[in-house]
Structure 1
Amino acid sequence: MPAPKNGKSILMTPDPYHIPGYRGFCPQFKFQFGKTFGCTTSKLLTSDNIAPSGRAILSDINPGVFGKEEDAKRGLLQERNARWGDQKLGKIMVPGYTGYIPKGEHYYGSRYAKTCLNAIADFEKDQIAYRNKVAQIKKKDIDVDPMKHLRPMKVPYVSPNEKQHSTSPYYMKNNDPGKCFVSGYTGFVPKARNLIGMGYPIITHEALNSFTGDLEKTRTRMDHPVKLTRLSPVRKEFRRIYTLDTGLVPHYTGHIPGQKFRYGTTFGHSTRNAKRISLPAGSEIIPQLST
C-alpha cells in the first residue's frame, strides 16, 4: 500500500486531533461516545456544525520554525549558555522540570517551552541592564564623590550621652546597679528561680550577685587549697556506716554485707552489727559512737 503524501498511514487518525491525555477544553466532547479519543477530537475539530473560535487550537511544532521575536530571545539565551557554560536555565527547557523559573509566574497560557523561553529571556534582560548600570557607576570619575576625600576614622565614634552595654552583667561588680537584666529578657538567669515577689531587674540583680559570689569563693579555694589533716579517732567513728550497737535507718539503699542471707527480722535488727567483725578470743567489744 503506497504511503500518503503527508507521510502518515491511512490507518492513523487524520490531523488535527488531540492526543490521549489532553486536559484542555474540547467542545461537545461530553456528548460523544463509541470512538477513540483521537477520532472523536478530530471529528469535533473539523466539524462544520460546531462554531469554531477563529483561532487555531493546535499550532505547528515543526523544528526550526520560530518567529523573529523567539529567534531573538533564543539568541540572547545562546549568549547566556556560552557565558555561564552548562546550566539549568537555557534556551531549551524540557517539560517536566520542577525547578524554579525566574519570572515564570508572569507568563501563562502557552506551552511549557515557550513560557520558559519568555521568562528566562526577560530575566536575562534585567541581568544585562543591571551589569551595564554597575559598569557605568565604576567608570564614573572619583572626584565627583565629595565623600571620597574624607579620611576614614580609625576608631568608631561613640556618643558620650548614649548608654553603653559593652560590659556583660556577669563581669560587673556586685554593688553596680546596672548588674541586672531588663524586663523582657528571656535567657537563663542562674539562681533566679527561687527569687519571687520582686521586680525582674531586682531579682536578676540578686541572682547574679549570688552566682558571681559563688564563683569567687570557688576560685579562691582553688587558688589557696586547704591542707587536709588526719581525722581524730572520735571523728572517724562518726564517719562509720556499719555500727556495732545500732542498725541502719530503713530505706537505706547502700550495700549491706550479708543482708541478702538474713530474713525474719526487721530492717533495723538485721542491719545491726552488719559488718560482723570477728574478734580474737579473750578480747572485748568496745562500744562505738553511732551515726
Structure 2
Amino acid sequence: MELVSSPNPHFIPGYTGFCPQYKYRIGNTYGTTTHKVLLDPTVHHAEKLVLSDRYADDYKTFRPALRDIDIVNERQGDTIYKHPMVPGYEGFVPREHAEYGQRYTVQATEALSDFEKLQNQKKAAMNEIIKVGYLQDNKWDPKTLEEKQLTQSDFKLPLIEVRPECGGLLRNVPVTEPPLTPPTASVSPYFSDNIDPEKYLKSGFTGHVPFGFASFGKTNKAMTNSNLCDFTSNYRKRLSNEWAPVELDRPDPPILIQPAEIYHKHIGQLPNYSGHIPGAIFRYGRTYGNDSRDAKRWLRGDFSN
C-alpha cells in the first residue's frame, strides 16, 4: 500500500501553486517529494496548510436562516408564499432573480424574506411621515413616553391668514443692479495678440510649450509669454510666405477644342485596340501596327495591302 499511495501530508499531483525547495528535489514522485518537503524542518514554510481543515471545527451554515423562515411564515393571509416553496413553481417570486447559487427552496425563502423586510421599511417611513403631519396639525395623540417627548412645531397647519386684505398687494421696490460684463470669446494663447496680458500658460501646464527648449532662468509667466510670442510671430510669417496659396499663371484654354484624330496616316494603332479598322478583316500577312497605318485608305478606295 505504501507503493501505491503517497503518505500524508502531501500536495495532490497537478497542484500548480508554490512548493518551496521542490525544484531542487529529484528522484521521487510529486506526492512523495512534497511530503518530504512539508515535513523537512530545514525548509521554511507556513505553519498552517493553505486550505483550512473543515473537519476540525463545527462551523456549519444552514440556509435559509430560521429568522428568514419566520418572516415568510408570518405573512398574513398568504397561502402561496410559504416555506418551503415547492421546486417547479412557475409563478412570480419577488426578488428571486437576485438570488443564485442555491436550491430553489432556499432562494425563494431568502428572496421573500428580503422583500418583506423592504416592505416593512417602507411602511415605517410612511408612518413617520404621517406622524409628522399629525404632529404639525396638532392632531397627534401620543400614547408612549417616546411619542410625548417629540418636539411639536410652533406653527400649526393650515396657516391662518392674519390680514387677508393685503394678500394681493405687491411692492415694487427698484433695485440697482450692476451692469453685466459682456462675454468675450476665449482666444487660445497660441494665436492671441502678442500684447495680450493673458498670453501665457498657467503654472502646472503639462502640454507642449513651443520654443520652450531654449528658455530657462525665468518665471513661468515670463518664459511662456516669450515662447508664445515667438511661436505666434513665426506662425504668421510662415502663413504669409511659405503657406500662402500658390497662384499658377497659365494661358487660357482655346474656345474650340478640335477632336483628336483616331486614324493617323503615318502611325499605326496600338495592339489590342478594340475599335474598328476599315478593311482590316479583308487583309492579312502584316502586323497589326503596319496594317492599321493610314486606315482611311480603304475608305478612299485604295484596297492594296
TM-score for the superposition, normalised by structure 1: 0.30
TM-score for the superposition, normalised by structure 2: 0.29
